[in-house]
Amino acid sequence: MSPTFPPSGGGHANWSPAPGHTRSEAYQADVQELLTRITPTPMSGHPSMDPETAKAEIAKRHREIMEILGLNLEDDSLSGTPDRVAKMYVDEIFRGLRNDEFPKITVVENKMRYDEMLIEVNITFNSTCEHHFLPIMGKAHVAYLCKGWVLGLSKFNRVVDFFAKRPQVQERATVQIHEALSQILRTDDVAVVVDALHCCVKTRGIGDEGTITRTSRLSGNFLSNPSLRTEFFSALPQPHTVHLI
């Protein structure tokens, strides 16, 4: 039986066909609608600055922090640091705060009729702990049951990277990745596991270098079907074998 386009509703985002395709061949994620249905990152609600203004303001404030610490901003090794930090924040490690950075996602009809689990393991990501602004280095493992629609494999990596590129806690990142993939694929049969090393644990406080944190979010058949859940977790690397750095 040929796959059919899932009806709208059911907690999933609205979708429109990709340019040049009919509704039965492909659809493109409505990013703005999708992101309104994702567990939010805490935001002030104030209008966002344009990137160049944000860089200028961050550089100014980072210079003040460095001066408070007693650093010599005239030194040739330090003079460019405020601008480098500002560029890094806006264009790199926090670019996931901008909706326009969400990857373009086109989902295509499952013409090959593949109907088993698809799993990607060891998706590398780098994020930032929102409590101390120190790095979180991790691997995400994602899976879904293929039904009517399939997603290009690199898109899983891009979705993970988007939500990693913002101040985060691991629990929220896991939920956001799961919610996004569930909406994009229009199915509840999605599983996400995240393994991460937190530098706020490794380099400060307790200073434990060996701690790996694992979080998960499962839904649909991954939650209700014990054998499928076992198959999924059996395919994952054990946390102590995951190479995070």
Model confidence at 10: pLDDT above 80: no
Catalytic residue numbers read 129-132, 170, 198, 200
| Dihedral in degrees, nearest 10, Cα atoms 180, 242, 219, 170 | -60
pLDDT by residue (tens digit) across 75-123? 999 999 999 999 999 999 999 999 999 999 999 999 999 999 999 999 9
- List the chain domain ranges: 15-29+104-238, 51-97
Mean pLDDT of the chain: 89
Query: What residues have CB less than 8 Å from 125, skipping those under 6 apart?
Result: 137, 138, 139, 140, 160, 161, 164
Q: How confident is the model at residue 201 (pLDDT cuts 50, 70, 90)?
A: confident
Does the fold of domain 51-97 match that of domain 15-29+104-238? no
- Whole-number pLDDT of residue 72: 98
- Whole-number pLDDT of residue 24: 57
- For residue 49, what is the DSSP state? P
- Give phi and psi for 206, each to the nearest 5: -70, -25
- The whole-number average pLDDT for the span 155-160 is 98
Model confidence at 21: pLDDT above 60: no
Q: Which two tokens stand for residue 122?
A: 């060891």
- Whole-number pLDDT of residue 229: 97
Residue with tokens 């994009």, as numbered in its chain: 184
Q: How confident is the model at residue 8 (pLDDT cuts 50, 70, 90)?
A: very low
Model confidence at 140: pLDDT above 50: yes
At the second CATH level, the architecture of 51-97 is Orthogonal Bundle (1.10)
- For 215, the 3-state DSSP assignment is strand
- The whole-number average pLDDT for the span 163-188 is 97
- Whole-number pLDDT of residue 230: 97
Model confidence at 60: pLDDT above 60: yes
Write down the CATH number for the domain with range 15-29+104-238: 3.30.1130.10
- Whole-number pLDDT of residue 245: 66
**C-alpha gyration radius of the chain:** 20
Q: How confident is the model at residue 183 (pLDDT cuts 50, 70, 90)?
A: very high
Distance from C-alpha of 159 to C-alpha of 34, rounded to nearest angstrom: 12
End-to-end CA distance of the chain: 46
β-strands 117-129, 167-168: how paired?
parallel
- The whole-number average pLDDT for the span 149-170 is 97
Distance from C-alpha of 244 to C-alpha of 242, rounded to nearest angstrom: 6
Query: What residues have CB less than 8 Å from 38, skipping those under 6 apart?
Result: 176, 179, 180
Number of other CB atoms surrounding residue 231 within 10 Å:
15
Cross-strand pairs, 31: none
Residue with tokens 């703005």, as numbered in its chain: 32
